[in-house]
């Protein structure tokens, strides 16, 4: 493919991402499968362009007069990210072959003016406009740094070593033999970190196939460990999702006790089964009703209830920048109400003296502190329990790309009065 054809393809992919709900990675994969003529270098160049644009979308759209279509964003990126001159950009837009059509008068005008004037605060941050005030309130003088970290280039690949089957140094040596140089994660004692470039094929390794490692961000490993699951406990993973934290809880329990993982989507539970088998652990999987029913027999029985509540996923925007532009203020309000309701339901399962931990992978206070505040007001029988982590403030913890080099996470720990 010519450089111009790659630009046209990137613009097409960006339009497909904007029109649907699929992750950018899935859209790019589908494009590659439908366009077999594109070689590996072509696919990489297109993907790099797409992710560059997604991370700079606010600035590019602003520079192009508010346009958000793939063509405009790609054109803006050539000027503001690549630093090309207008003549160079016009050369790439000759309309020949599979390249993009020539620039319009309006596009040339926007490019001529690109970079002039001071960027509005929300544009400079790279965040959606409605998120900026939340960041300013939450992080104070650090808000811009936190925003930059969240929308930064691709995150590293973190692995959790399954200590039921292996030890960290043994797995590290095994990966080195496979050509993957991993380093210990700074916070999690069972974590290893790989760079995202070049993309490592973790699932092709024997360590992954045999269940000695799982892909799991260090932040997720941390909140899982802080929950305090231990052998012999009755533990409920109330919103199991893909099962990453279910596996972490099972590892902490060492195969002793009762682990119940629930979710409202059967497909998610089905996807957990092979992961449990590969890791050599077990859990009872339960399909919950849309209103949370399905665990009434466990009311007042659980030593620990882990609530990884549905959330915006804003803590993972460095991995999925497209999600930042799909989120709305109304959706955040809906999620807040859902989180408070789920916490109330999950609280019924906790025995006197047992614990509940609330977790999100969100950076937004409406889903984090404000949801926790609402739970505490409605459930005074749950007292806060201090979290054992240097970044914790009492019973609450915030992790973020800028402060801990992890995805963004929030956790709050409680114990039910005896």
The per-residue pLDDT string of the chain (418 residues; one tens digit each, 9 = 90 and over) reads 999 999 999 999 999 999 999 999 999 999 999 999 999 999 999 999 999 999 999 989 999 998 999 999 999 999 999 999 999 999 999 998 889 999 999 999 998 887 666 777 778 888 998 999 999 999 999 999 999 999 877 789 999 999 999 999 999 999 999 999 999 999 999 999 999 888 889 999 999 999 999 999 999 999 999 999 999 999 999 999 999 999 999 999 998 999 999 999 999 999 999 999 999 999 999 999 987 789 999 999 999 999 999 999 999 999 999 999 999 999 999 999 999 999 999 999 999 999 999 999 999 999 999 999 999 999 999 999 999 999 999 999 999 999 999 999 999 999 999 7
Sequence-distant (≥ 6) Cβ neighbours of residue 315 within 8 angstroms: 150, 219, 360, 361, 362, 363, 399, 400, 407, 408, 409, 410
CA distance 326 to 330: 11
Predicted confidence at residue 97, as pLDDT, reads 85
Catalytic residue among 224, 239, 311, 361: 361
Predicted confidence at residue 117, as pLDDT, reads 65
Residue 215 buriedness (CB in 10 A; 0-12 / 13-18 / 19+): middle
Q: Is 299 helix (H, G, I), strand (E, B) or coil?
A: coil
Predicted confidence at residue 112, as pLDDT, reads 87
Predicted confidence at residue 125, as pLDDT, reads 83
Q: Could you tell me whether strands 350-360 and 302-308 are parallel, antiparallel, or unpaired per DSSP bridges?
A: parallel
Outline where DSSP puts E strands in 198-253.
213-215, 234-237
CA distance 256 to 251: 10
Catalytic residue flag (residue 361): yes
Q: Which two tokens stand for residue 299?
A: 């009311």
């Amino acid at each position: 493919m010519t450089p111009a054809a790659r630009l046209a393809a990137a613009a097409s992919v960006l339009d497909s991402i904007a029109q649907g709900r699929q992750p950018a990675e899935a859209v790019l994969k589908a494009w590659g499968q439908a366009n077999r003529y594109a070689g590996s270098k072509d696919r990489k160049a297109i993907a790099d362009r797409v992710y560059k644009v997604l991370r700079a979308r606010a600035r590019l759209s602003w520079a192009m007069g508010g346009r958000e279509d793939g063509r405009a964003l790609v054109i803006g990126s050539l000027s503001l990210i690549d630093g090309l001159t207008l003549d160079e950009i016009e050369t790439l837009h000759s309309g020949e072959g599979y390249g993009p059509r020539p620039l319009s008068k309006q596009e040339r005008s926007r490019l001529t003016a690109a970079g002039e004037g001071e960027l509005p605060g929300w544009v400079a941050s790279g965040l959606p406009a409605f998120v900026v005030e939340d960041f300013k309130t939450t992080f104070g003088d650090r808000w811009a740094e936190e925003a930059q970290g969240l929308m930064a280039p691709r995150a590293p690949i973190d692995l959790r070593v399954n200590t039921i089957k292996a030890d960290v140094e043994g797995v590290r040596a095994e990966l080195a033999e496979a050509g993957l140089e991993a380093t210990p994660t700074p916070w999690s004692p069972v974590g290893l970190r790989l760079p995202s470039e070049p993309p490592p094929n973790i699932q092709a390794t024997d360590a992954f196939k045999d269940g000695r490692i799982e892909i799991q961000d260090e932040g997720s490993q941390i909140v899982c460990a802080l929950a305090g699951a231990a052998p012999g406990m009755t533990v409920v993973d109330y919103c199991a999702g893909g099962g990453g934290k279910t596996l972490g809880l099972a590892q902490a329990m060492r195969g002793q006790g009762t682990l119940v993982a629930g979710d409202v989507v059967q497909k998610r539970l089905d996807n957990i089964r092979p992961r449990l088998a590969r890791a050599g652990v077990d859990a009872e999987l339960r399909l919950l009703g849309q209103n949370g029913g399905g665990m009434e027999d466990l009311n007042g029985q659980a030593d620990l209830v882990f609530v990884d509540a549905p959330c915006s996923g804003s803590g993972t925007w460095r991995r999925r920048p497209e999600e930042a532009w799909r989120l709305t203020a109304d959706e955040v309000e809906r999620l807040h109400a859902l989180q408070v309701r789920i916490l109330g339901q999950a609280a019924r399962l906790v025995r006197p003296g047992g614990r509940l931990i609330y977790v999100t992978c969100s950076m937004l206070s409406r889903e984090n502190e404000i949801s926790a505040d609402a739970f505490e007001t409605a459930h005074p029988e749950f007292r806060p329990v201090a979290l054992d982590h240097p970044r914790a403030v009492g019973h609450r913890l915030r992790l973020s790309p800028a402060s801990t080099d992890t995805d963004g996470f929030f956790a709050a720990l409680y114990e039910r009065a005896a």
